[in-house]
Structure 1
Amino acid sequence: MPQVWDVPVHDSTRVRDVRVAAERAAARAALDEPRTAAAALVATELATNLLKHTGGGQILIDVVDPPLPEAGAPMMVQIAAIDHGQGIADVSAALRDGYSTARSLGAGLGTCRRIADDFGLYSVPGRGTVALARVGTRANEAAPAAPVRVGGVNIPFGGAEYSGDAWAWARSGDLLTLMMADGLGHGPEAARASTAATRALHTSAHLPPAEALVNLDSALRGTRGAAVAVAQVDTGAGVLRFAGVGNIGARLREGGTWRSLLSRPGIVGVHRHATLREDRIAWAADRLLILHSDGLPSRWVPPSDPDLLAADPAVVAAVTLRDASSSARPVRDDTAVAVLAPSPSEGP
């Protein structure tokens, strides 16, 4: 089931909680001792930075697939530090190896970037910072080439251990399929439904989205069901296909504009559909797709900063989630955001 460690960091006692969570996630990802230590160091430094530089924030730790889809690739520990602080005035200086302006471990963001397999940082003065690292089994090795990238973040409701939302990708030849599932309600039974959808996706990667949803419907029988959306890029044909059932949100960026992709009402695993609508849209270097569960407010504003849109998809997802939330709009459900984007080599 989608296990996520959501640790609010507002005092020094939570730094240890972050380190322990990173070690537990590393065990789940089957990392060896050196890479487990690397994950723990990155998580500890990011949590310490939150306290020293922003007065606190949030650490999300998850076990995820790599951002460049490769069949059979090992899982990775993803650590995201999110804050609404003052931002970083000099990002290039903050990323220099060993740079530290406060009483942290002295490792600095530069060292975090060096020892992690992937590292992304997005900061805007006056709005806050998102720092995101992934630690896997292949430190400092070149990532495999892929025409698309995927990434996401997931927050369980009320600090629960498991989220009822799940996102996952699967690859079959030129077909890259991204799925978002929101198990009905929240808690363990919702997580069981979304986990069933994740497992079924890997046997449906060769199918177009509408047909994949039929397979997922069968797999979710016996669960409470889920809202599910499936987006698939055929990199050979340059086509994006999309189909969904239930209240999964989908926003597609084409050039400088955004539009919504619509799902059909219903619940996968409960209400069987004889036919499903499937959108077909040209996929190009200026496209970007955001899928999200209904934990995100319905009237959220898509990002427009070109620097953010070119960032790691998980960073885009984390900033989207952060900027769509506020104390006036408390989260009342699990919330997941996933992003599908061209790889940097595919851009202009």
Structure 2
Amino acid sequence: MSRVWDIPVHDSTRVRDVRVAAEAACAVAGLGVHRAAAAALVATELATNLLKHAGGGRVVINLVGESGTATQAAGTCGATEVARATEVAGASAASEASAIHEASAISECSDRRVQIVSVDHGPGIDDVAAAMRDGYTTADSSLGAGLGACLRVSDDFDLHSRRDRGTVAVARIGAVPAAQHGAPRGRAAGPRVGGINLSLARAEHSGDAFGWTRSGPLLTLLLADGLGHGVRAAHASSAAVDELRRLVALPPTDILRRLDARLRKTRGAAVAVAQLDDDAGQLCFAGVGNVGGRLRTGAGWQPLVSHPGIVGAHFPATVPLQQVPWTAESLLVLHSDGLPGRWTPPDDPGLLAHDPAVVAAVALRDASSAASPLRDDTSVAVLCPDRRTDPHDRLP
């Protein structure tokens, strides 16, 4: 299930709320006391910065998997939870919510990380390099830790700031401190996956979900939008992501057909599947329902359009397959219909070198505003080449 902690930060009382949410997320993820303390420090510093430097903003906390895709591991979790959810599918809404909540607490994967995203529409940071120095602060009420400490204690940390557009910061904290992940590597190694997931009206669970899995040179990214909202929508999208593990060797259109059978006992979902063949340098895309994507190529942004229908309810007779080249400069954005229909992809070339979750959060921020809030559960997933030079994210 896609757990979401979404906290608006517009006064000092919300800083505590952000810290408590980070600690709660660490408890669900099964992180130890020291890693939970690191997450609490990062969350508190980011929330304080929102108030002092941006006039407010929001902090979104998700549970995510590994962003690097070089290994055979999958960036998805929740098999036990989905199985339990299936058992209670015929129960009342209240009973189902209780059972799924219980399963959620016991079925998180050991490699699950707490992702803390800070988003604002503020003036931006004039000197990012100075702001990233450990201990740097301009606010008397700050912890004095600064963004440099966030960088140091997080497994991954990245920040994008643009004058008069705002700042997005992303931190991920897992069970193992970043310093123990291994020695720096001399070159990038394959693509990375990241994203952000928000629920309508700040509900506990989002009806959207995304995940990836790898089989040899094939990397498959799936994004699902369960029909409607709430626990039953989350059940449908989680079932789609969980089933992906068993279908990774199939092409996208066959994956969608198999998912249609799997989701027949759920509400159904809109599902987009993108499959990258590293060896062939080719990306294949297929989707059913109101989900879609954009692909950045040398010529600009190309739309990836899904076919009408519902996976698990009204599956179309044919599903078109799009095939496009994938290069070192490509970038893929998959999104649910929570984004406006004519949203504009980010136009900052420097953004492409950042963490994929930063790219996703910037796209989501720029597609909404206080006057035009998100109208649905909303998820954005990004696939991009790994441009890091060591296991820890660095600013370009």
Shorter-chain TM-score bucket reads over 0.9
Separation in 1 of the partners of 2:268 and 2:318?
Answer: 18
Q: What's the counterpart of residue 2 of structure 1?
A: 2
CA displacement, residues 39-67 of structure 1 (integer Å, 9 cap, x when unaligned): 11111111111111112110000000121
CA contact (8 A) 2:308 2:316 kept: no
CA displacement, residues 51-104 of structure 1 (integer Å, 9 cap, x when unaligned): 111121100000001210231671111000000011101100000001111021
- Within-5 A mapping of 1:69-88: 69=69, 70=71, 71=73, 74-88=111-125
Q: What's the counterpart of residue 33 of structure 2?
A: 33
SS at match of 1:221: helix
Residues 1:290 and 2:333 aligned together: yes
Indicate the percent of aligned positions where both proteins have the same amino acid.
61
Residues 1:100 and 2:165 aligned together: no
CA contact (8 A) 2:4 2:198 kept: yes
Separation in 1 of the partners of 2:327 and 2:388?
Answer: 12
Residues 1:128 and 2:171 aligned together: no
- Within-5 A mapping of 1:196-211: 196-211=239-254
SS at match of 2:2: coil
Separation in 1 of the partners of 2:219 and 2:280?
Answer: 12
Which deviates more from structure 2 when the two are superposed, residues 270-279 or residues 57-66?
270-279
Structure 2 stretches of 5 or more lacking a match? Answer: 76-110, 390-396
Q: What's the counterpart of residue 173 of structure 1?
A: 216
SS at match of 1:261: strand
Separation in 2 of the partners of 1:287 and 1:91?
Answer: 26
Q: What's the counterpart of residue 98 of structure 2?
A: none
Aligned pairs, how many? 346
Q: What's the counterpart of residue 64 of structure 1?
A: 64
Separation in 2 of the partners of 1:27 and 1:207?
Answer: 36
Separation in 1 of the partners of 2:216 and 2:148?
Answer: 36
- Within-5 A mapping of 1:184-263: 184-263=227-306
Structure 1 stretches of 5 or more lacking a match? Answer: none
Which deviates more from structure 2 when the two are superposed, residues 186-195 or residues 89-98?
186-195
Compute the displacement of 1:325 (Å). Answer: 0.5
CA displacement, residues 155-207 of structure 1 (integer Å, 9 cap, x when unaligned): 10011111011111111111111111111111111111111111111111121
Q: What's the counterpart of residue 199 of structure 2?
A: 156
CA contact (8 A) 1:303 1:309 kept: no
The amino acid of 2:247's aligned partner reads S
CA contact (8 A) 1:238 1:282 kept: yes
Compute the displacement of 1:149 (Å). Answer: 0.6
TM-score by length of 2: 0.85
The amino acid of 1:137's aligned partner reads A
TM-score by length of 1: 0.96
SS at match of 2:126: coil
CA contact (8 A) 2:134 2:146 kept: yes
Compute the displacement of 1:274 (Å). Answer: 4.1
RMSD of Structure 2 on Structure 1 (CA): 1.6
The amino acid of 1:100's aligned partner reads T
